[in-house]
Amino acid sequence: MIERNFDNYMNQIEKVVKKGGGKSFGIDQEFVPVPVNGEIEVVLRLLPQPRTEEQPFVENRTHSFQGSDGKWHVVDCLRKAGHRCPICEWNKAVFDTFTSEDAKKISKKKAKKTFICNVYVVKNNAKPDTEGKIFRFKFGIQIAEKIFDKMSPKDDPDKGHIEGVQVFDYYKGANLIYKAKIGKYGPNPEASYFGDSKPISDKNNVPLSEAEIKRIDDSLLTLKECEKDTSKVTFEDVLNTYEKLCEGEKLFKRIPKEDGTMAYEPILPGISAGNTAATNAAVQSAVEEPEVDKAASAESTDEFLKDLL
């Protein structure tokens, strides 16, 4: 029997779900479901991480926005790396200054989380040649919430207490029936759900042998290479990228300090860049070029598993 330690999975999953959910950069050997008549239905089995890695998925976090060229672009959200993010900071200033209704119209896209894990394709009528193979699978916060729900114990008025299911386990996990409708912004997997707990099986519901499970375990794809390293990306880097793509739009006034560093004051609609009293009332203090917040950095990935598990 292939043994794995799943002790920290629940904590990591729980974190990302509770914190909430861009596009992420392309990944190799990715499983991309093929829609038929605008709908997707495929049976997947989420797999544990390779033995050389510590968690069953990696996370990328981005902000998307429309540039002056009319096209959509993405920039990295720095909060995952423990840095303060200019887009997040500007959004906070907007919500602290304006009514909630107005702020929603003014604010930029909030950070979107995407996750990548290994999957075994159990059944895929739209593309049968993928069945029985291992791929990397990218999913968002909706699927993360479903993972968290399946892994969480609960009390049912009819069935009584129901133990959570460790969905990544080869023997006691559960299949993900991934169902989605193609909408304006891509697949909406709201209708997806997990089946009952059972050993990993083929499309005919025949449990895989120990030899077949070992083959899968030995063939798991690395995940760390799919995770964007934003630890060296700075507040100024992201701000410069945004302002270059959105010509003429400035999010912050740069204020040189005596020690040679830079302070950043949010420029809000209808508020003069020099009106520090109004602006600082919203943000409480000028945004300094941040140093790495080690505690936040440690939380980011662990959060996902905590929020999942």
The DSSP code sequence of 87-139 is: HHHHHHHHHHHS-HHHHHHHSPPPPEEEEEEEEEEEE-TT-GGGTT-EEEEEE
Query: Can you name the CATH fold of 9-308?
Result: Replication Fork Single-Stranded DNA Binding Protein (3.90.198)
3-state secondary structure string across 46-62: ECCCCCCCCCCEEEEEE
The answer to whether 248 and 274 are in contact (CB under 8 A) is no
Residue 200 is predicted with a pLDDT of 98
Ordered per-residue pLDDT tens for the chain, 309 residues: 776 666 665 555 555 455 443 333 457 899 999 999 999 999 999 999 999 999 999 999 999 999 999 999 999 999 988 899 999 999 999 999 999 999 999 998 889 999 999 999 999 999 999 999 999 999 999 999 999 999 999 998 998 999 999 999 999 999 999 999 998 878 999 999 999 999 999 999 999 999 999 999 999 999 999 999 998 999 999 999 999 999 979 999 999 999 999 999 999 987 644 444 443 443 333 334 434 333 333 344 344 444 443
Tracing tokens 């299949």 back to the chain, one arrives at 175
What six digits make up the tokens of 133?
A: 């193979």
Amino acid present at 170: Y
DSSP 30: B
The pLDDT of residue 20 is: 42
